[in-house]
Amino acid sequence: MRETRLLIVLSLLSACAPNRGTAYDRAYFEATRAESAGRLAEAAAAYDRAAAGAKRPRDREIARWAAADALARVGHVGEAVARLDAMAADGTSDHQAEAAYRVCVLRIEHGDADRGWRDMEAIPRRFSTHGVGHVAVRRLVAHADAQGPDAAAAELAALGRDLEKTELVELVTFLAAEHVEARGDGTAARDAYLRIAERWPYPYGAFFDDALWHASALDEKLGRAQAAADDLERLVAERETTTILGSYERARYVPSMLRLGELYAGPLHDRARARATYHRLYTDYAHSTKRDAALWHEAALWREDGDPKTACDRLATLVHDFPDSRYVPCATATCQGLARPSASGAPASCHEYIAREGGGAEPRSPTAQ
């Protein structure tokens, strides 16, 4: 009975599977086996057989691409370019954009660089909604940058003009702001980054976080500490939460919270807000690996401001919640009566640089803890 049910399930799965054709399946298997063994010319020939035997257009395209790729890797660049050129000219091909870009790269890398770069200029203009458009923009700007800042500026201006009505204009605008910063005009670069955040706000802007992060760094460098903090507060204000398993934290969140703490505690002289910021990092960013550091910095501020009890309360929380933290031996050295957890995997003693970082007590030996 069990075997009968299994046969029924297998027959149903077979019926649901796409019919690629026996010739395709056999040839594609032979091609992947040859490719895995490093026999690329043999693999290319087998991929060609698979393409000839495919019943579905999509399978035929996959095999054609794989054959051209194998030929390029085995050194038959001319034949690979000819095949990829044909795919790039085929408006029905699923690999049209990738083929056009790959042809440019092959020409650049194999002796026809001038034509390769000329053709690369067309990629973002032809395929502005495809991923290769983004890659081509970055590659074109990097190539121009290698020729000098004026060449890069000219390239960015041309791309910005031609791509103004495409989704790629945001990338070009961000790269242009980076270029202004690299040339040393901090004020103009800061203004450019802020315009990006205004024009493409969260959640629509791919560079919203990066633009505000860079603007904040430049504001701080320009002596505008409050503006730097405002930039970061605007960034973290757009934080989203999730109720599904896992976490959703954009890369700039936690570094922004740490920098905010430093700004409030330092040049802005708002230690109460610095303490609140560090504590918010601990309470609100449940998946961050910096929560113990936030408690350590918050405790240091409480201690420096004359409230050792609250400082030790925060360090007790640190030791309890993060028994393996590098801050544990420093916390127990700082607060009398605070014991190291029995199963702690933290370092045996407090490193001096950590004690200095948080203004803690001089490190004591493990036996004194």
221 occurs within a structural domain:
yes
Please, which residues have CB within 8 angstroms of residue 104's CB and are 6 or more apart in sequence? 116, 117, 119, 120, 123, 136
What's the domain range around 202? Answer: 184-235
Q: What is residue 239's predicted lDDT score, i.e. its pLDDT?
A: 75
Q: Kindly state whether residue 212 falls inside one of the protein's structural domains.
A: yes
Confirm whether 192 is domain-assigned: yes
- Which pLDDT value is given to residue 361? 42
| Domain-embedded: residue 317 | no
List the chain pLDDT tens, one digit each, 369 residues.
Answer: 555 554 444 354 344 555 566 889 999 999 999 999 999 999 999 999 999 999 999 999 999 999 999 999 999 999 999 999 999 999 989 899 999 999 999 999 999 999 999 999 999 999 999 999 999 999 999 999 999 999 999 999 999 999 999 999 999 999 999 999 999 999 999 999 999 999 999 989 999 999 999 999 999 999 999 999 999 999 999 876 555 555 557 889 999 999 999 999 999 999 999 999 999 999 999 999 999 999 999 999 999 999 999 999 999 999 999 999 999 999 999 999 999 999 999 999 998 888 777 654 443 333 333
231 domain residue, yes or no: yes
> Rounded to an integer, what distance in angstroms lies between the CA atom of residue 172 and that of residue 55?
42
Tokens representing 359?
């203004």
User: What's residue 6's pLDDT?
Assistant: 45
The count of structural domains within the chain is 1
- Check residue 118 and give its pLDDT: 97
pTM: 0.85
DSSP sequence for 189-249: HHHHHHHHHHHS-TTT-TTHHHHHHHHHHHHHHTT-HHHHHHHHHHHHTT-----SSS---
**Per-residue pLDDT at 13:** 39
The sign one gets for the Cα dihedral 343, 345, 257, 351 is positive
263 domain-assigned: no
Residue type at position 332: T
Q: Kindly state the tokens that stand for 38.
A: 């490093």
